[in-house]
Amino acid sequence: MKRDTMPEKIIIDTDPGQDDAVAILLALATGNRLQLQGITAVAGNVPVAQTSANVLRICELARRGDMAVYSGAPAPLVFSLETAEFVCGIDGLAGSGLPPPKGRVAAQHAVDYLISHLLASDEHSVTLCPLGPLTNIALALRLRPDIASRVKRIVLMGGAMNLGNITPAAEFNFYVDPHAAAIVCTSDIPLVMLGLHLTHQAIATHAQVAEFETMGTATGRAVHGMLTRLRPGGLGTAGHPMHDACVIAFLLWPELFTGRDCFVDIDISDGPVRGRSTIDWNGRLNKPANALVPNTVDATTLFDRMIAEFATLP
């Protein structure tokens, strides 16, 4: 998996979330290799008003208050919203110590922004990077299917090859809005799916986490606080898997990942396997692959490179 030499144009769709924050900051730190066009917020870890505010807080931390931020869907396509304050705190960014945002989101709705931006873009020119439930992107694809040809690929964090993290069967993002995940997985857009089986390998060591604090920067202190917080409900350790950061890391350093093309199916039923991603790793279903599914990552090198990038942020 080799990286193109030209900067990749990306849009991040997100529901911050501590690991979403790390992913956004990593993208902002590597602007010479990634051209971040805008950031759209969706309901997920916390309601959409808070995720939108969190994107602004993160951008302002990196002194990128100029970044266009759009607020999107307040609820999944079919099911009622279920959030994860028990993991990420009441404001979604527990441990960060960030103040309320000074700026405001753009007037345009996130789904309208996705449609208008993509329609104005060249064919296969923009990579979508969903870090939360896929509601915004699914709505955009349903409203204007013709935007699909403008998308180069979708690189997302979601799903799991084995056990889930919100139920035994499902990963949180796919569980929250399985119908949206199913729409994206059947869109015929090239898809990279970074699931729990992969992101649970991306756990920073205690020494690596400590390096964020020793940077002596506001960003370093905020990231260190988020990675070392005690999670509500007794779920915390000193750090946790950097699920969403793997999306940006995959764009920057694809050589650190290995995987294979697979057929992926999403369960949309309202039952115990809601949101489950069935990944046909061995091709038993004889169906065409619809996703590249990485299953290993060189986590040590990933975090060493990430720390070096974060040292460039204020």
Assess contact for 96 and 222: CB atoms under 8 A: yes
Give the Cα separation of 171 and 130 in Å (integer). 14
CATH number reported for the structural domain that contains residue 248 in this entry: 3.90.245.10
Give the Cα separation of 49 and 71 in Å (integer). 7
Residue 3 lies in a domain: no
Question: Phi/psi at 95 (nearest 5 deg)?
Answer: 95, -15
> What global pTM score does this model have?
0.95
Assess contact for 151 and 127: CB atoms under 8 A: yes
Which distant-in-sequence residues (6+ apart) come within 8 Å of 240 by Cβ? Answer: 18, 19, 203, 227, 231
For residue 205, pLDDT over 90 is answered with no
Give me the catalytic one of 117, 197, 224, 243.
243
> What is residue 32's predicted lDDT score, i.e. its pLDDT?
85
Which distant-in-sequence residues (6+ apart) come within 8 Å of 2 by Cβ? Answer: 254, 255
Residue 1 lies in a domain: no
> What is residue 206's predicted lDDT score, i.e. its pLDDT?
82
Q: Which helix (H) or strand (E) holds 173?
A: helix 172-176
> What is residue 4's predicted lDDT score, i.e. its pLDDT?
55
Residue 167 lies in a domain: yes
For residue 44, pLDDT over 60 is answered with yes
> What is residue 228's predicted lDDT score, i.e. its pLDDT?
86
For residue 241, pLDDT over 80 is answered with no
Assess contact for 34 and 251: CB atoms under 8 A: yes
What does pLDDT average to over the chain? 94
112-121, 153-162, 198-207: the lowest-pLDDT one? 198-207
Range of the domain at 119: 8-310
Helix runs in 64-145, H state only: 85-88, 110-119, 135-143
Distances (CA, A) of 157 to 95, 130, 160, 274: 22, 7, 10, 17
Residue with tokens 């020793």: 214
Classify the C-alpha dihedral 242-247-248-249 as positive or negative. positive
Distances (CA, A) of 130 to 246, 269, 271, 307: 11, 22, 25, 22
- Supply angle C-alpha 218, 220, 225, rounded to 5: 95
Give the Cα separation of 223 and 95 in Å (integer). 8
Q: Please, is 210 exposed, middle or buried when counting C-beta atoms within 10 Å of its C-beta (0-12, 13-18, 19+)?
A: middle
Nearest to 52 by CA among 113, 9, 117, 140: 113
For residue 127, pLDDT over 70 is answered with yes
Residue 2 lies in a domain: no
pLDDT band at 234 (very low <50, low <70, confident <90, very high): very low
For residue 163, pLDDT over 80 is answered with yes
Count structural domains, the chain: 1
Per-residue pLDDT, averaged over 225-241, amounts to 61
Query: What does R_g of the chain's alpha carbons equal in angstroms?
Result: 18
Give the Cα separation of 54 and 52 in Å (integer). 5
Structure tokens of 207? 């020494």
Question: Phi/psi at 114 (nearest 5 deg)?
Answer: -55, -45
Assess contact for 95 and 229: CB atoms under 8 A: yes
Q: How many CB atoms lie within 10 A of CB 180?
A: 29
Residue 243 falls in the annotated catalytic set: yes
